[in-house]
Amino acid sequence: MMKIISAVCLSIVFLPSFVFAFDFTGLKPIAPDGVFSTFSTESLPKRSIAVDLSAERSNHPKFNRFGLTGAFGLTDSIELSFVVPYITRYENSIEGAEDMSLGFKHRFYEEGKYGPSLAYMAHVSFNNGADQFSTQGRLGVGFIASKRVGPFKGHVNLKFEKPLGDALKNEVTLSAGIDLSAANNFNLLGELIVMKRQNSKEFDYYESRLGYRIRTTDYLFTTVGVGLNLKRTRPEYKFMVSVTVTSPHHRKEIKRIYEEE
C-alpha cells in the first residue's frame, strides 16, 4: 500500500520531469529494413508481415522499455506498421504504457545511379498511455532517403511530431544510419540522432548508437545495440535488443534507375 501511495505522490509532484525524461517511441523500423530508429525506404513485399519484440534498458533515467512492433506490406512500396511500447521500473517505482503509434511508409522514388530512393511516412500516436509517459497523443510526418554503395547502405531521416498536450512543443528529429554488410549473415550498424524535444526551443539531444544484426534464418533477425548520450558530461547509455520474425517471402530489390550516358 505504501508503494502505491508513494508512486501516486511522485507522479503528481514530478509529472513534468517524467514526461520529458526520455525519448518517446513513435514508429520504429522493423528489421532488416533500417537501423535502430532510422528508417530505410525499403519495405516489406506485398502481403508480407513482420513482428518484432524489443527490450531496452536505460541507466539515466533508469527504466526498462519493452515494445511490440508489427508491419504489413500493403504493396511493394507501401508498408503499414504499429508500435505498442511499455515502460517498467522508471526510477525503480513507476510503470505504465506509452502511447501506441500507427502509421505508414510510402516509397515514391526509386534509387538512381547517383541519387537515393525517397519515401515519406506519417503516423498518429493515441492518447492511451499512462499519464507519466503520454504526450496526450501525437501527429507525425517524416521524409526518408536511402542509398546503397557497395556493402554500405545509408539512410537519412527528417521527422516532425506535434504533441497534442497543451504544454508541449513540436519535436524535430534528424537521424542518419549506416548498415554495413560485414558477412553473409552479419551486419554492423551505426546511427546518429539529433533531436529538438518537446520541452525545448532548440536541438538539445544528441545520441550515437552502435550495434549489429544477425540473420539466423531468412526470416529471423536479432539486433543488439548500445546508445550513448553525447551531450551529457556523465555517462548516459542504453542497451537495446530486438528479435524480428518475418513471413516467408521473396524480397524484391529496389529498382535502380540508370540514365544513359
Grid coordinates representing 129 are 498511455
Q: What is the CATH number of the domain that holds 9?
A: 2.40.160.40
pLDDT score, position 240 = 96
Asked, for residue 256, whether it belongs to a domain, the answer is no
For residue 67, give its domain range.
2-250
Q: Flag the least confident range among 42-56, 95-109, 193-207.
A: 193-207
Structural domain contains residue 255: no
Query: Where would I find the H helices in the chain?
Result: 2-13, 15-20
- Interacting residues of 253 by C-beta distance below 8 A, sequence separation 6+: none
Residue 165 has pLDDT above 80, yes or no: no
What CA–CA distance (Å, rounded) separates 98 from 94?
12
d(CA 47, CA 154): 26
Query: What integer pLDDT is reported at residue 14 of this predicted model?
Result: 37
Mean of pLDDT values over 23-30: 87
- Percent of all residues in the chain with a pLDDT value above 70, rounded to a whole number: 85
CA distance 105 to 56: 24
Domain presence at residue 71: yes
pLDDT on residue 31:
93
- pTM listed for this prediction: 0.84
Give the pLDDT of residue 152. 95
pLDDT at 51 over 60: yes
Q: ∠17-97-219 over CA atoms, to 5°? A: 125
* Total count of domains within the chain: 1
Give domain status of residue 259, yes or no: no
**Which band of pLDDT confidence, cut at 50, 70 and 90, is reported for residue 253?**
low
197 within some domain: yes
Instruction: Please check whether residue 257 lies inside any domain of the structure.
Output: no
Residue 151 forms part of a structural domain: yes
Beta partners for residue 64, in sequence order: 57, 88
Task: Say what the pLDDT of residue 233 is.
Answer: 60
**Would 260 be classed as within a structural domain?**
no
